[in-house]
Structure 1
């Protein structure tokens, strides 16, 4: 079950008490004592750094005692008093149990952090499935573990990618410092973030489910048990991802060259993409999320209630000569589920931490228009003066350019140190200045568009009649 407001208040109170007892960056110094009998040994164990992490870095792995696994990488000659730690919140969420290899893969992907001279730490989170506030708690627990064993860094940055952007934006509020005090984090970087809360970020996937079913009628098949599509899948369903992919291919021809598809397949695909406004290359991924993530979110976290509805949504197009709009299933969202999901995942905007966001303009997974939602939340809270949003002319979701990440870290550190908020032009110039150092292979250039701004999310995702 997702956290309600009472639980969120308790987390914030516990975080505040922890800061008051241990100081802004937790207990300093090393804690090499052996674990108590029966307790999980949480101490970082030396590990071989995976490529492309610099060979002279020190790497460690371990378990945090609550079910999460972690990896840590520390550059050569890194000393906490003068250096930077980047806490990484990963994307997803994955619906299976945590796997130790997940954080190692994240470290390999963001090796640029270590190459730029910063320590890196990432947690798998203690459980699979949805839960933004829980993941924020897991990230903070790892930060405290890092400080116990390696010392408090001069600056701690919180970096969230994709779903991790939701986690980082929430953690920046849950662990906000008391007035006049320094908190555990000094700045926040959000890259290709699923921002604004799960309510608005995921509801288009219900649109995809109802439109896909109206067009293809094979998820579920007529011979299978029927269920409300917001459920994702029944608990006992045996459908696999490969089986769903075959159904999508049979209906739309995805995976085949356009000229090898039938006219009917091309027509069905065009209807789906036109009604939901997603890209062909992301249809299968979004449908997977609207199946297995919805199954986890609704049935495991929200007691079988759906936070998503589509009452009043217009779907353009036609199926078999009849308006599509008249053929889709209609569902009303449950008000309690809406509130639970919002309490867990929607930012309040109440943070004074310097915050940079960087988003690919053609991101096929986390729509760039989500940045408009997050900006509105920061404006409503009076904290937009501590937010800079940059946009890159890139088209992938899972990773941006190495040089752009390095530039964002450098600019954020300067902002923390000087108090001078960078402009988007400053960020572009910073990126260009680092090309020689981080773009030796010519594959990691700068693609920032300083004057570009996203449209409102409503231009991409039709609004619902229910109030959130």
Structure 2
């Protein structure tokens, strides 16, 4: 087992300039995915630590005038070794970046599973590979998506200052874009999934089943358990009918499903996905990264929204967090607000995976650090997580670069106006809500 402390130390080593890309393989030409605009060139390579990277260069891109977008991908749903295919999937999804005229580099991270500081280090290593082989760009934007927004937020702090020939100098990133961010840090962003495990078990009593090995639910799943995702989905469906049309569910299934989603405040369609994370990701986090220690606390949480809250709160399983685990998780993943670059964010108000209220948690972090003025948040009238309306992304990049280059700080209104100008070229409509402001996280996830 390797605790999170070691992952944080790796990132600090990179900050000191001792972890270089010298063991990485040089970029090798690779045919671009069909989603990447014609005329672009793509390259792949290994990062020397077990991960891979993909690079895409728009036609006639030049470092002296060009912008590089360094991408931190989402997850960490996969808990196994890194694969080159994962990087290709990211490039396909974010080909809009290349279409907008920016170079793109993305790391797969050296392995799956949890490790925010580790992923931030791997992302920075990919940037260094790009600069070594294609030259330093005019501007460098750090883009984090979903879990990758947590990675980017941490990376912006780890690399805010780096060693220069005559002492510390400003780090390599000029600005940061966070989209659909799982923000708030590991000590806050996953509380609702702990709540889901205990509420689900109270209602359904089949994860684990009564005749199976009983274990503390914060462990996710015993390391030697053979349960598959398909088997878990079948158990959820048996209890709630969630994969069936509502008319085909029994009255008991309807009641079970309503009790779970009303208490946890998630849409039906994301129930199985969240339980997957609260099973296999929790196993990775608690047993492989935290030395089988529990970072989650629900000892005093009062759950509301069921048909019998008194019975629920009396019967639900309760756990108290291990302070060592909480400290390790916070050190690895919690943002502190120590940034020195402008930050622009986008979040769908009905995101089924990362609650929009997580934006408030990050906003409060920056405000406590005295950096609230360096953040502009935008929101869209959408119900998706992994990718939102096309023209919104070039609008965000343009607004962020105007802020960096011209000191023209955007507002949600100016971003919305910019977006309208991209609708024709990108074949979709802007869905931004300029007057929206996210509610506190405590309005969605009970305090503890």
User: Fold match, TM over 0.5?
Assistant: yes
- Match among 338, 342, 364 for residue 330 of structure 2: 342
Question: Which of 280, 287, 298 is 1:310 aligned to?
Answer: 298
1:308–1:369 Cα change, 3 Å = same
What is the CA-CA distance between 1:276 and the residue it aligns to? 1.1
CA gap of 1:211–1:427, structure 2 versus 1, over 3 A, is same
Residue 46 of structure 2 corresponds to: 63
For residues 73 and 96 of structure 1, the distance between their equivalents in structure 2, rounded to whole angstroms, comes to 25
Q: Quick check: 1:160–1:191 contact (8 Å CA) kept in 2?
A: yes
Q: How many angstroms does 1:17 deviate by?
A: 3.9
Between the aligned partners of 2:309 and 2:339, the Cα distance in structure 1 is 52
Report deviation, 1:401: 1.3
Decide whether aligned partners of structure 1 residues 101 and 14 sit closer, same or farther in structure 2, where only a CA change above 3 A counts.
closer
Task: Give the alignment partner of residue 86 of structure 1, picking from 62, 66, 69.
Answer: 69
Are 2:34 and 1:46 equivalent residues in the alignment?
Answer: no
Structure 1 residue 400 corresponds to structure 2 residue 376: no
Tell me how far apart the structure 2 counterparts of residues 321 and 450 of structure 1 sit (CA, whole Å): 37
1:14 deviates by 4.1
Task: Kindly report which structure 2 residues correspond to 1:371-382, keeping only aligned pairs within 5 A, or say none.
Answer: 371-382=359-370
Secondary structure of the structure 1 residue equivalent to 2:4: coil
Q: Which residue of 1 aligns with 2:342?
A: 354
Figure out how many residues of one structure are paired with residues of the other and give that number.
442
Deviations 1:191-216 (A, max 9, x none): 00001101110011111000100100
- The answer (yes or no) to whether the contact 1:302–1:337 under 8 Å persists in 2 is yes
Query: Does the 8 Å CA contact 2:10/2:121 hold for their aligned counterparts?
Result: no
The answer on 1:331 being equivalent to 2:296 is no
* Equivalent-residue separation in structure 2 for 1:81 and 1:156 (angstroms): 12
Cα separation, 2, equivalents of 1:349 and 1:54 = 36
| Residue from 84, 93, 104 that aligns with 1:109 | 93
- Residue in 2 aligned with 1:159? 143
Name the structure 2 match of 1:130.
114
Aligned CA-pair RMSD: 1.9
Tell me, in whole angstroms, the C-alpha distance in 2 between the residues paired with 1:455 and 1:16.
38
Q: 2:244 aligns with which of 234, 256, 259?
A: 256
Q: Distance in 1 between matches of 2:148 and 2:347?
A: 13
Tell me which residue corresponds to 1:364. 352
Deviations 1:25-48 (A, max 9, x none): x99xxxxxxx9xxxx661111011
- Relative distance call for 1:92 and 1:294 in structure 2 (3 A) is same
**Residues of 2 paired with 1:41 and 1:136: CA distance?**
16
Shift in CA distance, 9/81, structure 1 to aligned 2, threshold 3 Å: same
Residue segments in structure 1 that go unaligned for 5+ positions in a row: 20-25, 28-34
The CA deviation at 1:123 is: 0.7
The 8 Å contact of residues 70 and 141 in structure 2, kept in 1 or not, is answered as: yes
Task: Choose which of 291, 295, 301 in structure 1 pairs with 2:289.
Answer: 301
Give the deviation of 1:256 after TM superposition. 0.5
Mapped partners of 1:80, 1:445: distance in 2: 32
In structure 1, how many angstroms separate the alpha carbons of the residues matched to 2:24 and 2:409?
42
Instruction: Name the CA distance, whole Å, in 1 between partners of 2:25 and 2:32.
Output: 19
CA contact (8 A) 1:86 1:119 kept: yes
Is contact 1:311–1:332 with CA below 8 Å preserved after alignment? yes
C-alpha displacement at 1:16, in angstroms? 4.3
